[in-house]
Amino acid sequence: MEQTNHVSAALKLHHITNLNTYIIKNEADFIFYNEKDSIPEFMPGTGEKDIIYFYQQITFSENQLYAYTNEWGLHYLACTFNEAENYLVIIGPYMELIPDLYQLSRKYNLSNNQSNDLRRFCNQIQVLNSDKINSISSILQVFDQIIKTDNKPIRIEAIKESETTQVNRTSPSLVEDGDLIKIRYKVESDFIHAVEQGNKSKALSTLYAHEGIFSFSERLPSQPLRRLKNLNIVLNTLLRSAAGRRNVPTILIHRMSEKFAHQIENTNQVSKLQSLQDAMIEEYSDLIISNSLNKYSKVTQKAIEYLMIFYDKKIDKNELAALCFTHPSHLSRKFKQETNWTITAYQQMLRIEEAKYLLKNENISVEEVAWLIGYEDSSYFARVFKKETGCTPSQYIENN
Describe the crossing of helices 250-265 and 298-309 by its angle, rounded to 10 degrees. 50
At 317-362, the pLDDT tens digits run 999 999 999 999 999 999 999 999 999 999 999 899 889 888 887 7
The enclosing H or E element of 79 equals: strand 75-82
Single pTM value for the model: 0.56
DSSP secondary structure letter of residue 95: B
DSSP secondary structure letter of residue 212: G
pLDDT at 167: 40
> Helix or strand or coil: residue 136?
helix
Going residue by residue through the chain (400 aa), what tens digit of pLDDT does each one get?
456 678 888 888 888 898 999 998 876 688 888 888 888 888 877 878 888 888 888 887 777 899 999 888 899 999 998 766 788 999 999 998 878 888 888 888 888 778 888 888 888 888 888 889 999 999 999 888 887 766 667 777 777 655 544 444 434 443 445 666 777 777 788 788 778 777 777 788 777 665 555 555 545 555 678 888 888 898 999 899 988 888 888 888 998 999 999 999 888 887 888 889 889 998 998 888 777 777 889 999 889 888 888 888 888 999 999 999 999 999 999 999 999 999 999 999 989 988 988 888 778 889 999 998 999 899 999 999 999 999 999 999 988 7
Query: Does residue 93 have a cis bond before it (omega within 30 degrees)?
Result: yes
The enclosing H or E element of 288 equals: helix 270-291
pLDDT at 177: 55
Are 32 and 46 in contact by the 8 Å Cβ rule? The answer is no
Are 89 and 79 in contact by the 8 Å Cβ rule? The answer is yes
At 46-56, the pLDDT tens digits run 878 888 888 88
At 56-107, the pLDDT tens digits run 888 877 778 999 998 888 999 999 987 667 889 999 999 988 788 888 888 8
Q: Which of 69, 78, 61 is nearest to 99 (CA)?
A: 69
pLDDT at 348: 93
